[in-house]
Structure 1
Amino acid sequence: MTYESKTIKLAMNDGKIFDSILKLYEECPDDEEMVLIELLILGDTISFKHENFFLALQSLRQHLEDKHIQIMCNGAALNVYPSQMQLSMGTGHLAYKIKFGEPARLKDIVDIFEFDNDLRFVKIEEQFSYYIRWLKSLEG
């Protein structure tokens, strides 16, 4: 089964940052309708499957948050969120960098597994709250 391998940074709540390997499978070995992500962390493998990579990443993030670990990739940034179209088409690898009062544009598309140093990485709840506030900012 083929996969794409990404090196990602993880931040412990004591401030230590270390690299880890993330494997991305566009087809889960036991269910080709699903994607699979596997994180190799401290000798363990943690895996999550979902309909798209963004949702699988959120499951992984929740697991890590429970252990006080912050994943540092674009998909965990405060102002990065996928559109419904990005989630329904393809594998959910892409999302928009969003700014209050401005609609998302093509030039704002990022790969959720890449690392942009000037982004702030946050918990799922804070990211979702920012996304909702951004949506409301477009109404006015």
Structure 2
Amino acid sequence: MEHYKVTLVSNTRSPQIGAVRLHDDSDDSLIELSFDGNAFTGTGDDFFDAFSQIRERLEPLGLLPQCYAAHLRAFPSGMSRSMGGGVKLYRLTLGKQALMDDLIHMFDTDNDVEPATVADQRAFFDKWIGSLGES
């Protein structure tokens, strides 16, 4: 079991520190997030999918994780998802193919993290895919 800390940010309240636990002892990937007496669980084919489920339940509360898993311009590759459980993501730049130097861990954070909703992150990923053929 792996453990991480993640900051949850909001426009209306002070940041919350959450504890994240990853479980990969069954056919599904399971993530638990707990903070301030609240607990959320997500399961999926990989950890990115499981964490996205938790993020969708945090969004109505006005909370967004301050980590690369919730960064507008980050997304896992198919290979990362199938072989690595989706814990490694790529920083994405429109019109530029993602490279090994662009790999980041989903629960890492830095000054460039721009927390986004699951839908906005997916929309940027789709836009990035479409931009690869443009010159």
TM-score (norm 2): 0.93
Q: Structure 1 regions of 5+ residues with no counterpart?
A: none
Question: Which residue identity is paired with 2:52?
Answer: Q
Q: Which runs of 4+ in 1 moved over 3 A?
A: none
Q: C-alpha separation between the residues in 2 aligned to 1:111 and 1:102?
A: 20
Q: Secondary structure at the match of 1:89?
A: helix
Partner of 1:65: 59
Does residue 1:41 correspond to 2:51, yes or no?
no
Aligned alpha-carbon RMSD (Å):
1.1
Does residue 1:51 correspond to 2:49, yes or no?
no
TM-score (norm 1): 0.90
Q: Secondary structure at the match of 1:92?
A: coil
Deviation, structure 1 residue 15: 4.4
Q: C-alpha separation between the residues in 2 aligned to 1:75 and 1:18?
A: 17
Question: Which residue identity is paired with 1:130?
Answer: F
Partner of 2:81: 87
Partner of 2:8: 10
Question: Which residue identity is paired with 2:5?
Answer: T
5 Å matches for 1:58-137? Answer: 58-137=52-131
Q: What CA deviation, in whole Å up to 9, does each residue of 1:43-92 have, x standing for no partner?
A: 13211111100000110100000221111110100100111111111211
Q: Structure 2 regions of 5+ residues with no counterpart?
A: none
> How much identity, in percent, do the aligned residues show?
28
Q: Secondary structure at the match of 1:139?
A: coil
